[in-house]
Structure 1
Amino acid sequence: MDVAAKLTSKGQITVPKSVRDALALHPGDEVVFRVHGDRAVVAKTPDFLELAGSIAVPAGRQGTSWDRVLRETHRVHAESRR
């Protein structure tokens, strides 16, 4: 679906109703803009609380602090780039 909208002098755009409906956007929802070359894609920001429990966590990793997860992820990523 391609839908046009005009940019105001303040840099604002009204998201057309057909796009709001297609993305199930409601007042207060957040969106993210992803820029690819000379194009931008707008997407609804997921509600991360709704994702809770959607990924299985191995029994040995349950209860791991988020800080530790981030440290280990960064370490593994850095090692893979060497």
Structure 2
Amino acid sequence: MATTVTSKGQVTIPKPVREHLGIVPGSKVEFRCAADGSIVIEKADTSESSRFAKLVGIVGPGLSTDEIMAITRGD
């Protein structure tokens, strides 16, 4: 499969390749050089892309609005 490089250096990943790799809009991809000199494209593992992503959902439900209001009002 061939594709054309735009003046900005962009290419369109052919649909069969996107489907095979599970690439959807917003997905990140990685390019790496293989030992034989070829270039490999892979769907990036974004599970550790953000140090904050690991923290999502670990704090718990937190205080209710009524509890927060009682604290701020001094009730």
Superposition misfits of 4+ residues, deviation over 3 angstroms: none
Identity %: 40
In the TM superposition, residue 6 of structure 1 has moved relative to its aligned partner by 1.1
Partner of 1:17: 15
Of 36-45 and 16-25, more deviation after overlay is shown by: 36-45
Taking the TM superposition and a 5 Å limit, the aligned residue runs for 1:1-82 are 3-36=1-34, 38-48=37-47
State the aligned residue count: 47
Q: Which amino acid aligns with 2:43?
A: K
In the TM superposition, residue 38 of structure 1 has moved relative to its aligned partner by 4.2
Alpha-carbon RMSD: 1.7
Structure 2 contact 28–46 (Cα < 8 Å) conserved: no
Give the TM-score normalised by the residue count of structure 2: 0.54
**What is the CA deviation profile of residues 20-69 of structure 1, one whole-angstrom value per residue up to 9, with x for unaligned ones?**
001010000000000236421100012426xxxxxxxxxxxxxxxxxxxx
Q: Name the one with the larger helix percent.
A: 1
Q: Mark the runs of 5 or more structure 2 residues left unpaired by the alignment.
A: 49-75
Structure 2 contact 23–43 (Cα < 8 Å) conserved: yes
Higher RCO (CA < 8 A, seq sep 6+): 2
What SS is found at the alignment partner of 1:48? coil
Q: Distance in 1 between matches of 2:37 and 2:3?
A: 16
